Amino acid sequence: MDLKFARTEIGAKPKKAELDKIEQIVQKEGQVIFYFDKDNSHKDLLELQDYFEAKGKSFYMSEVKYGLADSEYMYQVHIVS
């Protein structure tokens, strides 16, 4: 699973999201919202969902549009203990 966080600038490349780091943040915070880049495959995000649901977490995912073009979106993931 190769996930990328959402870009913070239009011309920037997305930063990689390591599963271990995501899990540490979820354990520390209890509930967290992540924004993932549109370059992520939907399949990888569903694998992330399966991973956290297997650990007993609630997982909510949606697409967030930030422009008028169809390609201007990101994924919002909310993980709750």
Nearest C-alpha neighbor of 2 from the set 54, 31, 44: 44
If phi > 0 it is left, if psi is from -120 to 50 it is alpha, else beta; for residue 30 that is left
Q: Any idea which residue has 């699973």 for tokens?
A: 1
Tell me how far apart the alpha carbons of residues 38 and 5 are, in angstroms, rounded to a whole number.
9
Q: Is pTM, for the whole model, over 0.85?
A: yes
Tell me how far apart the alpha carbons of residues 44 and 68 are, in angstroms, rounded to a whole number.
25
Query: 52-65, pLDDT tens digit by residue?
Result: 999 999 999 999 99
Query: 19-34, pLDDT tens digit by residue?
Result: 999 999 999 999 999 9
Domains of the chain: which residue ranges?
Answer: 3-80
Indicate the DSSP class of residue 53: H
